[in-house]
Amino acid sequence: MRAHSVLIASNRGPVAFTLSDNGALTMRRGGGGLVSGLSEVVRGTDVLWVCAALSDGDRGAVRQAPGGRLDQAGNDTGPVRMLDIPPPIFHRAYNAVANSTLWFVNHLLYNTPTAPQFDTRFRREWESYREYNGAFALALAEEAAHDAKVMVQDYHLTLTPAMLRVERPDLRISHFSHTPWAPPEYFSLLPDDVAAEVLSGVLGADHAGFLTARWAGAFMDCCEAFLGARIDRAARTVTHEGRTTRIGVHALGVNGAGLRARAAEPDVESHMTAIRDLVGDRRLIVRIDRTELSKNIVRGLAAYREFLGRHPEWHGKVVHLAFAYPSRHDLPEYREYTAAVQRCAKEIEDEFATDDWDPLILNVHDDYARSLAAYRLADVLLVNPIRDGMNLVAKEGPILSERCALVLSREAGAAAELGPDSLLVNPYDVSGTATALHEALILPEEERIKRGVRLREAATAMPPHRWFEDQLAALG
């Protein structure tokens, strides 16, 4: 094989398959920020995308494809190799280690009096994570041309760069973290050997990329604390065991023209009409998230509740449109969190709703066109994550609504660029967020427009194709 000169590796791939009762497979585009950004960039190119089969539908498709190459089985995917990793190994690697451990560490999500507990069960899960990372390394080693550039994505694949380097020292390898990186005091929750393995795994890359200088700094701090690596903070390099890895900051943004064109399509227009019919001329506070623990939806709703309690003059004049789409429902914490969001919404309804005013519309069913409609109508966009790698919602909103005021968590990566023109909040400070919602609602029109221009500029400064090119260039 060894045919491709640029390769991408990520857990979730550009397509997903659904298996119907009669055994037929239906293909759709893969979801999530990473996938939509990268899909746009590689469409029509020869870049090979290596990803994992996530469902029975995906596994069915892989089995019909020679060597897992979906494109060679006649699918209109572009070059994609999907890996059929045995389900128990995949689930331990994806759910137990990537999503329940590394994600929790990097987003500071543990309720530490009871979790985490690193026991013998975890060791089995960790072994599966190694196997899963090894399967990616092997596939990449098989597919990459001599001297090819391989771009490994995210916390699912922290060990792959080092494993791949052992197999194919000729390759130029990058790793990109789409999440925050934990500070050493929190990263130290991980068992020492696991912490060291994660860091050395990423350092197997020639270039390790992050969304903000803050996450890059935290990674370098961890390398110093846990590996004793030599750090040059000014030059952004980490030297460990005789090799130097360059650290890069690439603040992924949005393709403004593409997003505006999609948001002008008829399905979005009809959702706008439906929303207008529902809320009339009331002011709109919008939030759009996956129902993800890090997104802080419960505190966001609590802040809206406190705002309504403190400002009766707004009763009947404002509606909060909260879209909280399903995410990671294999994990009990996520199912419980969704229930907590729904409970909170019900309490707001019970306390404030009247015969002719619904203060909150919570929707838990994913609908991209409706989200775009909500952005276009928003007076205020609330983005209050506990911690977030970037948060592209904060960037998409201002692109689609010229007069939308942004209430933004200072812990979102996007705050580094959008902070000066947002109303920044401490995500744990419910009262502070309630105050910011009020200030955002009463922000003068002229100020909204002025801030909007700057927010749009920042949000579109590094669209996905530039972000991708920058990282290719960083590999020389």
Binding site for ligand F6P (CB under 6 A): 12, 32-34, 99, 154, 178-179, 327-328, 389
Q: Nearer to ligand F6P by C-beta: 32 or 419?
A: 32
Nearer to ligand F6P, 12 or 81 (CB): 12
Residue 457: phi, psi to the nearest 5? -60, -45
Could you tell me if 109 and 386 are in contact, meaning their C-beta atoms sit under 8 angstroms apart? yes
Fill in the DSSP letter of residue 354.
B
| Distance of closest approach, residue 151 Cβ to ligand F6P, in angstroms | 14
- Rounded to a whole number of angstroms, the minimum distance from the CB of residue 116 to ligand F6P is 18
Nearer to ligand F6P, 100 or 433 (CB): 100
Query: Do residues 83 and 7 make contact, with C-beta atoms less than 8 angstroms apart?
Result: no
Residue 394 beta carbon to ligand F6P: minimum distance, rounded to whole angstroms: 13
Largest interatomic CA distance in the chain = 71
Comparing CB distances to ligand F6P, the nearer of 4 and 12 is: 12
**Degrees to nearest 5, angle at CA 211 with 368 and 470:** 95
Instruction: Select from 286, 247, 294 the least CA-distant residue to 378.
Output: 286
The distance of closest approach from Cβ of residue 14 to ligand F6P in the complex, given in angstroms and rounded to an integer, is 13
Residue placing its CB nearer to ligand F6P in the complex, 280 or 326? 326
Shortest Cβ 36–ligand F6P spacing (Å): 8
Give the CA distances from residue 35 to residues 38, 42, 49, 234, 295, in Å, rounded to whole numbers and listed in that order: 5, 10, 11, 32, 19
Contacts of 83 (CB under 8 A, 6+ apart): 50, 51, 52, 53, 62, 68, 135, 136, 139
Cis peptide preceding 398, ω within 30 of 0: no
- CB nearer to ligand F6P: give 32 or 316: 32
Radius of gyration of the chain (CA): 23
- Please report how close the Cβ of residue 146 comes to ligand F6P at its closest, in angstroms: 30
